Structures are given as structure tokens and as C-alpha cells.
Amino acid sequence: MKSRFSLATLSLAAGLANAALPLPNPPWMPPPASSGAQKSSAPQQPNAQWSTLVGDLLYFYEAQRSGNLPSTNRVPWRNSSATSDGSDLGIDLTGGYYDAGDYIKCTYPMSWAMTSICWGAIDNGQGYDQAKQTPYLDDMLRWGLDWLIKAHPNPNTLVVQVGDGDIDNNYWGGDQHIATPRPSFVINATNPGTDAASSAAAAFAACSALYGSSTPLASGSTPASLRDPAYAQTLLTHANQLFSFATNTRFQTYQTAVPAVADVYASSGFHDDIVLASLFLALAGNSSSFFNLAETYYSNFSMTVTDTILNWDDKTPAIPVLFTQLLSQRQDISGGSQKDLNTWQGRAEQFFDRILNNKSRGYLTKGGLLYYDGDSNDASLNPALNIAMIMFRYAPLASSSQKTNDYQTFAKRQLDYALGKNPMNAPYVVGVNPNAPTNPHSAMASGGNDINNIDTNPVQTRNVIYGAVVGGPSPGDLFYDIRSDWVETEVALDYNAPFLTLAAMGVSKYSDDPFYTSLADGAYASVKPSGKPCDDAFPCGGSGLSRGATIAIAVIVTLVGLVLIGLLVRFFMLRRAKTGKLFV
């Protein structure tokens, strides 16, 4: 019995390993930033600059790898690291991705990044294929999903974080001396976390759908070519188990079970996560009962899509878009009722039209970035790019060609902004052009190890973390490119995710270059603001108080204001406060 069991395990493991697409040899490597200043001589499709952008954005994830690095590692300055993760629980939690500029592994935002990328690779898969980046997409997804499998060691247990936010916040340095201990935090049947379990279920299901089927979810597009039915089945099993865990245990946010995650990624709710997970389970398993369940939950929770945003915490606006896709493209799952289709289109369009008509909470900065006070404060590009991503996805399904046009125009403007068509003349992706940020808030890329002198030690960033999308500019469109300004310069798994989907779409859609090839060398340097920004990393106001006191007052004032507008939870967590000072 015993030996048969281990043989079966072995052959299963070998089967999984063999199914990965072979990586190019020699490997694809990101070209130097100067190559992003070379205009293509004529329109071409696929356009080489867009293809390079996809490659760069994927390469970022490779730089974020935790655990034992394989021989195929392309990031020369990275080492194997955190190779004892999980030892406190007696399980193997090595691998996966570091969340941002630091060294913790956070399941909740990572699950959204995986969900988002797999959804995009179903919709815009031909972009990865044309860019010849599908093997790297496969490699990137497996590095995340294989870890997520380890983080789900039995049906009712999910590891939601590895590493303690406070301990990690006091470390700034390379990957060889990462702060310890690195505790593992779990949710389980006695201490559940509805949002985290549902969100991981959504990631497994969305990626199962990608690996499991080549059926398009949008007309005229094909999923990326990485079929692996056995892997799809494994992912679907985890998705089903996690969804049962989420919905058959007490409903509560995961920080209620694990208070230690509250100052890192506290979630504001779980309704969105449950509905999105049911929809992706419907897609992955061709299941009309999951489709109907998503409808039931949406109505039982009395959800609306009027004025939310889209990010790691809130996925509500993605829901009517996926409903519309399933109702119009997958009648076998959804039944394809015209009445339901009209309802979901109406909800999607109400959300988008409010943005276009300046009736939403969001507004355009002078330079044209969609900005939400509060939600955009610590990562201004992220809500804007997430919304651009779903607007592009939805546009062909709109109820009129006028709306199709309007959505595409608006979304293209957001994408162009991030690609350098902005008052700073800066594309906000490291290494793609000479005007791109050079001081990302990434401890391992910086080469420094002095937490009190993040900006000057060293003066010049040691390692170029190609493809890293930074937080983004201020509401006044200013970008200071200061390493310690985590608000504007931090990198993160979920910042790259919508940009990656948009770039893959760009490969399949645009024969002209991404905007940045038209930027003159020195275009950013000539407008770069001097001094410091006013943001959560550099509170200002000239009160003469100590920095700690200023932060405390700013927090109290902010909280009072936010209680009034009902945003307390989302703001409370002071996301990614990696100054090493906010929490000590």
C-alpha cells in the first residue's frame, strides 16, 4: 500500500512538472531601457515594442520569486530565499511571490492578481502567443499557483500570510538576510475568512478555466495556448474545496480570524469575492448551478455596482462584466437569457457611464488620470488601470456601438497615461524607456541595507527591476521618483496585473508603438519636480511636529473624515506602509 501510494504521488508530480511549456533557450531577456526609445519604422502587427512590454511585465514576477530558484531563473541578482517558510506549521510553504517592495507573502492580494491575469489570458491570450511570451506566462502562473496549492494543505485550511508585517517593516535589505521569524497565518473552520478563501477559490477557478479550455470568452479572441487538462483539474479541485470552506463556515473577514493581517491587507468585505468565485467556478466547471448561485448571492447580499472601485479589496465592478461575458458568449453555462443579459449590461454600463459622465466618486486629474480620493492615494495607477482593463473587456459587449467607442476611448486614455502620455512624460514601468522610474521602492532591487537611509544608500539603484509598475503619481500628476516614497514608487504583484492584461491586448490590437517610444530622451528630467511630495509617506502641512506626531494627527483627522463617508475599513489598514516607521 505504502509504496504504491508514493509511486502514484511521484508520477503525479512528474506529470505536473512535464506539462509545463518548455522555456526558450536562450531565454528571452528584457532589453535595456534605451531600446524603448526606438520608434518602429512602420506600423507592424504584432508590434515588437508591445511584445517587449509584455515580456518585461512578466519578468517582474520572476524578480519577486521566493523560495528555491530554478536553474532557469533569469534574474541574475536574485538568490534563493526564505527557504524555511512553513516550518512553524510543519509544512512546506517555500516558493510563491513576495508581495511588493518587501518580503512578506500575502495570499489575498496575490489571489486577485492571479485571478486578474488568468482572466486576461483567457480574453487576450493571442497577445501572449503573438509576443512569444506564453511559456513565460505559464511559468509565472505555475510559480504562483503551485504555491497557492501548498498554502491550501487541506480542504478547510488556507495560509493567508507568511511573514509578519511589523517584523518585515523593520527590515530593508537584500534577499539573504530577510528578517525572521516568518510566522505563517492560517484561516480554518474554527477561524474562517470568507474573503480570503473565496478569493483563492476565484484564482484557482479562473486559472483552471485558462488551462482547461480553448473556448473563447470574447468573440475574435483566443485563450493563451497553455492547455493542461490535468493541471486544470487539480486547480478546479482546490477551487471547489475553498468555495465550500468559504460558504459553509461562519461569514467573516479574514482579519477577524487573523488580526495580524489587519495592518497589511485588511479586507472591507466578502460579498464581491463570493460572487466572483461562483462565476469563475461556473466557467471552469461549465456549471450552470454555480452560475445560478452567483445570481442568488448577488441578490441575497443586495449588492449594487454603482460607485465602487476595482482593486485587490473590491472586485464588485468585475462582476457585471463577467456576467455579461457568460450570458453573451457561454449560453451553455448561463442559459443566455436576453432579459438577464440586458440586466447585467445595464449594471455594467451604469458603472462605466457614471465614470465617463463625471458622476462617480472618481474624477480626472488635470493630466487625465482617473483618480479616487482615498482609494487612489497610495497607488494612483491601480484603480485607473483596473477600470481601464474591464472597460476594454466590456466594450465589445456594450449595448450600442457609441458606448463601445466611448469605453475604448476612455480606457485607451488611461493606458496611454500610464505609458507616458502624462505631464511627467514618464512611462510608469521600470526599465522600458529612459524616462521610466529609476528609484522603485523595492528593497531587493535597491541594493541598500540601511533602513534609515533608503534614498542615499546606495544613491543609484543597484538592480534594474525590469517591468515593475510603480504606485504612480500624485493627484496633481507629479512623480518624484524617490525610493522611500512607497506611495509613488513601490512595486507590487497587483500593480502589474492589469497592466499585463492591457499590454497583451495591445499586442493583439495595436500596430503602432506604445506611447513611450515618442518621448524625447530627458523628457522626464526636464519636468521632474524637486523637493518632496505630500502623501502618506511624506506627510506635510508644516506643523513643526515630529514626523510621528504628524502621522498620528493625519491618521486621526483622516479617520474622522472617512467615518463620515463610510470608508473606514478600507483606509484603516494604511496599505503597504513600508517606511519602517509607521508601525513602530
Ligand X SMILES: *[C@@H]1O[C@H](CO)[C@@H](O)[C@H](O)[C@H]1NC(C)=O
Binding site for ligand X (CB under 6 A): 77-79, 174-176, 185-186, 188, 190-191, 212-213, 215, 257-258, 285-286, 296-297, 300, 358, 363, 444
Smallest distance, ligand X to C-beta of residue 176, A: 5
SS (H, E, C) 530-565: CCCCCCCCCCCCCCCCCHHHHHHHHHHHHHHHHHHC
Closest CB to ligand X among 36 and 285?
Answer: 285
Smallest distance, ligand X to C-beta of residue 531, A: 27
Closest CB to ligand X among 183 and 346?
Answer: 183
| DSSP character at residue 370 | E
Smallest distance, ligand X to C-beta of residue 271, A: 11
Smallest distance, ligand X to C-beta of residue 441, A: 14
Prior bond of 183 cis (ω within 30°): no
Query: Cα–Cα distance between 270 and 342 in angstroms, integer?
Result: 26
Closest CB to ligand X among 250 and 532?
Answer: 250
Burial 221-234 (b: 16+ CB within 10 A, else e): bbbbebebeebbeb
Query: Cα–Cα distance between 152 and 123 in angstroms, integer?
Result: 28
Smallest distance, ligand X to C-beta of residue 97, A: 15
Closest CB to ligand X among 185 and 538?
Answer: 185
Smallest distance, ligand X to C-beta of residue 214, A: 6
Given the residues 481, 485, 513, 535, select the one marked as catalytic. Answer: 481
Whether residue 471 contacts residue 495, with contact meaning beta carbons closer than 8 Å, is answered with: yes
Given the residues 99, 375, 490, 494, select the one marked as catalytic. Answer: 490
Distances (CA, A) of 169 to 100, 176, 263, 313, 581: 12, 16, 11, 21, 8
Smallest distance, ligand X to C-beta of residue 553, A: 27
Q: Specify the length of the chain in residues.
A: 584
**Helices (H), ranges, 420-573:** 443-446, 486-489, 493-509, 547-564, 568-572
Query: Cα–Cα distance between 490 and 439 in angstroms, integer?
Result: 9
Query: Cα–Cα distance between 201 and 196 in angstroms, integer?
Result: 9
Closest CB to ligand X among 363 and 510?
Answer: 363
Closest CB to ligand X among 259 and 522?
Answer: 259
Contacting residues for 299 by C-beta, under 8 A, at least 6 apart? none
Query: Cα–Cα distance between 501 and 389 in angstroms, integer?
Result: 7
The residue among 94, 113, 196, 190 whose CA lies nearest residue 492 is: 113
Query: Cα–Cα distance between 471 and 242 in angstroms, integer?
Result: 31
Q: Please give the grid coordinates belonging to residue 213.
A: 479550455
Site of grid cell 518585461: 56
The DSSP result for 74-135, as a single string, is: --TT---B-TTTTTTTTS----SB--SSSS-EEHHHHHHHHHHHHHHHHHSHHHHHHTT-HH
Smallest distance, ligand X to C-beta of residue 75, A: 9
Closest CB to ligand X among 35 and 213?
Answer: 213
Query: Cα–Cα distance between 393 and 407 in angstroms, integer?
Result: 10
Q: Please give the grid coordinates belonging to residue 224.
A: 493563451
Smallest distance, ligand X to C-beta of residue 352, A: 16
Smallest distance, ligand X to C-beta of residue 582, A: 24
Smallest distance, ligand X to C-beta of residue 523, A: 26
Closest CB to ligand X among 252 and 399?
Answer: 252
Closest CB to ligand X among 257 and 424?
Answer: 257
Whether residue 397 contacts residue 325, with contact meaning beta carbons closer than 8 Å, is answered with: yes
**Is 349 marked active-site?**
no
Identify the helix (H) or strand (E) that includes residue 187: strand 184-187
The residue among 487, 528, 467, 304 whose CA lies nearest residue 382 is: 487
Identify the helix (H) or strand (E) that includes residue 227: none
Identify the helix (H) or strand (E) that includes residue 38: none
Whether residue 462 contacts residue 186, with contact meaning beta carbons closer than 8 Å, is answered with: no
**Helices (H), ranges, 20-47:** none
Closest CB to ligand X among 100 and 426?
Answer: 100
Closest CB to ligand X among 275 and 487?
Answer: 275
Q: Please give the grid coordinates belonging to residue 71.
A: 536553474
User: So which residues are the catalytic ones?
Assistant: 481, 490
